[in-house]
Structure 1
Amino acid sequence: MKAHEYQAKEIFSRYGIPVEQHVLCSTPDEAVTAFRQLGVNKVAIKAQVLTGGRGKAGGVKLADSETLVRQHAQEILNITIKGFPVTRILISEAVDIAAEYYTSFTIDRNARSVVLIMSAAGGMDIEEVARKTPEKIIHCNIDPLIGLPKYLAQRFAFTLFKQAEQAKRMTTILQDLYKAFIENDASLAEINPLVLTAKGTLRAIDAKMVFDDNALYRHPDVQALFEPTPEEQLEATAKERGFSYVRMDGDIGCMVNGAGLAMTTMDMIKLYGGSPANFLDIGGSSNPVKVIEAMKILLNDSKVKAVFINIFGGITRCDDVAIGLIQAFDQLQTDIPVIVRLTGTNENIGRKLLKDSNRFQVAETMNEATLMAVKSVKGETL
């Protein structure tokens, strides 16, 4: 689950991480009122959307008068950033920046630990820094049995700051950020940029937090912040119906029983030059209702041009699966090609039932089925 910047800053503030003054607004009039309330000479007007790249997309602007605040607020509230319409903006005190840094905690699955990532080249080009000059990115794995005591935080702080006073402040920020990360079961806690002001203070002028969905039941206060994107809402709906679903960018919808087989199916589609539209594990049931619900999820994606149903009949018999599919498609109206590969218990009976129904393209092997799916999308003759 992702949090908006203003929500992440609220959490940061509770943990003592210094952030600038800010007010959340949804109209130009509210933005002007916020400018007056803050009582500062200049403000930053920032789009609140659950995606990065706001600055480059025109979603962050500076203003030093009520006229400019109103103008920029109206402009930003009228744009869409990476498919996300801007409905709210944050009016923040503009900070006199002397230097920008990057700091985050996330999960290093290879090391099975939290990793601290820092850079003295923070800001909106941090991805470019990581790509072109990776030596500027510092990685420090955190032993889960030790955590981040002061002596370690101080050691890490001195890798960015040579002056004792600044390193001391950074030490506190690192410990507070780590505490916020751990106590909220986050998978990411990021400050970019963490700025050194002209007066020598450190401020988190942007904030990002992503939380582990599986731990949200332990944090009702965090769950209350959830504002799902359309994709997240779809994944949540699938979960409620007993599926594991992740949307992707391709055009071949996949319905598979078993996570390992689902991963293999996507690999095979890529191998044959196709592109999977999703990961969808429906589990072991041949229940027609479940198949209908799964197909509704797949067909809800306008990019899907073919559906590849890949079933291994172990405990679940292939003839039961075939009957379930036929009953399900009696209720579904679609012109999209549906390719089915059945293997396992009673596979021959299941295939015959599907072929006799004249609704499906039936394959015996995964290679054959994958090729049929890819060719059907490309409009090639089978």
Structure 2
Amino acid sequence: MLRHAFKQRVPTIGMARPLLVQRQLPTLAAKAFVASQVRFLNLHEYQSKQLMAKHNVNVQRFAVVETPEQAHNAALSLKANELVIKAQIHAGGRGKGEFSSGLKGGVHLTKDPAKVPDLVTEMLGYKLKTKQTGEDGVLVSKVMVAEALDIDKETYFAILMDRESGGPVLVGSPDGGVEIEQVAETHPDRIFKTPVDIETGPTEQQTLDMAMKLGFKGKTVAEASDQMQRLYELFLEVDATQIEINPFGLTPDNRVVCFDAKIAFDDNAAFKHPELQMMRDTTEENPREVEAQDCGLNYVGMDGNIGCLVNGAGLALATMDIIKLHGAKPANFLDVGGGVTTKQVSQAFKILTEDQNVKTILVNIFGGIASCLTIAEGMVTALKEASPKINIPIVVRLQGNQVEEGKECLRRSGLNITLKDDLDEAAIASVHLAGGESH
């Protein structure tokens, strides 16, 4: 996962949190916000392989199972000399993970098909904890059973959108099967980057040259080049921002195979690909984030105790920063947007109060397209209609369009709301009401 070798910046997305190329945001809270954001389409390993197989990219033969019986049938039907059984979760480090069943490792190899159902039984319905899942682990509901192939050569290949190049680039290294960041740090000369003309795509000569740089020889050069061309076709077809293959391997019988893939998508093109959105598995996502997205709100959960409701991403980040400045932590990033409706404000409050860690809510609004009155009316509706009643103290700072009308609406409501004109004062009040002491 190439984090540091290039200046490319894309959202954090993909099968197992690939390519954490974060936006360069200078603020304290912003850094935490980007690192925890998982708002985009995540694919399981088997789903990435399905997409590649559809585009004639070489992958292992595999089956996805949800019961031990299906696992038994898959193990027999694959007729492989050796089988690999992989738990499917949106996290890396599965091989070194541990199940709540006691089973060690989320990836197992066996030459005996009869052992597959027992392994799958200890995976399905149990939580797998890895270095990327946190202490609770993630519940496993699907397992991939695939043919295990020997690898004579492991290389790295990726196609990414690169801001510095102004378009897609091919990236490769002869050192595959390891973390590419480590290669970039210790042997940057072994990472090769080739810009691609977005109008014509990679030329045959470009992919042939890349294959030779990766160490392919003889007839395998042409096959590796062909696989790169097919991967680029997939890259365009699904509006990807990244396709990363590690390892991009060579088998003993000279087949070039993509053994593992991480695919990131352009979120702005999601409307063009309803078939991809149907592949989304929300069971591993923060339910409040899923609910917010369904409501058209931009919400990212965090680990603080002051809930934030703000209109505008920049203002939201500034609000999070000032909370940090005064010694507390924001519980979320929530940008309701410029065209927010009264109904959306009501939904936003519902989502905020579903977080049991929230002790105070800070509302920071600059009225523009959405006026302060719209926000205030939404707040009053949400608080009066909430069941059970919302007893969390709320601090509100309104400025801009219809600010006086908005304040008057809140005053007349009789609700437990603290009004502040100054953002610094509002943040200090929020910290005190949450039980903390401002710095």
TM-score category by the smaller chain?
Answer: 0.7 to 0.9
Pairing partner for 1:74 from 113, 116, 121: 121
Counterpart in the other structure of 1:360:
417
**1:168 corresponds to:** 222
Q: What are the superposed Cα offsets for residues 72-130 of structure 1, whole Å, 9 maximum, x if unpaired?
A: 22233233342431111111111112232222223224543223332333336445545
The whole-number CA distance in structure 1 between the counterparts of 2:330 and 2:288 is 17
User: In 2, Cα distance between the equivalents of 1:315 and 1:29?
Assistant: 57
Q: State yes or no: 1:28 paired with 2:68.
A: yes
Contact preservation (8 Å) 2:88, 2:141: yes
Distance 1:276 1:167, change over 3 A: farther
For 1:59, the aligned partner's letter is: G
1:306 aligns with 2:360: yes
What's the secondary structure of 1:29's corresponding residue?
A: helix
Q: Helix, strand or coil for the counterpart of 1:308?
A: strand
Distance 2:332 2:188 in 1: 32
Matched, 1:141 2:189: no
| 1:61 to 2:118 alignment | no
Distance 1:91 1:7 in 2: 13
User: Match for residue 291 of structure 1?
Assistant: 345
The verdict on how the C-alpha distance between 1:339 and 1:116 changes in structure 2, with shifts beyond 3 A counting, is farther
Alignment of 1:179 with 2:233, yes or no, is: yes
1:335-382 deviation line (CA, Å, top 9, x unaligned): 333221112245456446646735123322222223333454463379
Q: Show CA shifts across 1:16-63 (max 9, x none).
A: 211112121122232222222222221110111223222222211111
8 Å contact from structure 1 (residues 4, 50) kept in 2: yes
Equivalent position of 1:9 in the other structure: 49
Q: Which residue of 2 aligns with 1:282?
A: 336
Relative distance call for 1:241 and 1:223 in structure 2 (3 A) is closer
The question of 1:52 aligning with 2:83 is answered no
CA drift of 1:181 comes to: 0.8
Residue type of the alignment partner of 2:119 = H
Alignment partner, residue 18 of structure 1? 58
Q: Which amino acid aligns with 2:398?
A: L
Q: CA RMSD in A?
A: 3.0
Structure 2 unaligned residues grouped into runs of 5+: 1-40, 98-104
DSSP 3-state at the match of 2:96:
coil
How many positions carry a matched residue from both structures? 382
Identity of aligned residues (%): 37
What is the distance in 1 between the residues matched to 2:282 and 2:371? 37
1-structure distance, mates of 2:232, 2:329: 38
Cα distance in structure 2, aligned partners of 1:205 and 1:69:
20
- 1:91 alignment counterpart: 145
Conserved in 2, the CA contact under 8 Å of 1:286 and 1:324? no
Structure 2 distance, partners of 1:215, 1:27, is 35
The answer to whether structure 1 residue 380 and structure 2 residue 431 are counterparts is: no
Counterpart-to-counterpart distance in 1, 2:408 and 2:240: 50
Residue 277 of structure 2 corresponds to which residue in structure 1? Answer: 223
Task: Measure, in 1, the Cα distance between the counterparts of 2:221 and 2:321.
Answer: 47
Aligned to 1:157: 211
Asked if the contact 1:17/1:177 (under 8 Å) is kept, the reply is yes
Alpha carbons of 1:42 and 1:244: their partners in 2 closer, same or farther (altered >3 Å)? same
- Aligned residue among 320, 326, 342 for 2:398: 342
Q: 2:100 corresponds to which residue?
A: none
CA shift at 1:283, angstroms? 3.0
SS of the residue corresponding to residue 250 of structure 2 reads strand
Query: Does structure 1 conserve the Cα–Cα contact (< 8 Å) formed by 2:65 and 2:145?
Result: yes
> Quick one: distance in 2 between partners of 1:119 and 1:296?
49
Structure 1 stretches of 5 or more lacking a match?
none
CA distance in 2, matches of 1:24, 1:115: 32
CA contact (8 A) 1:190 1:207 kept: yes
1:131-173 CA-to-partner distances (Å, cap 9, x unmatched) read 6665554443333234212111122222211524332222111
What TM-score, normalized by structure 1, do the two folds share?
A: 0.87
C-alpha spacing 1:12/1:232, structure 2 compared with 1 (3 Å)? farther
Deviation, structure 1 residue 320: 5.3
Q: Please give the secondary structure, in 2, of the residue aligned with 1:166.
A: helix
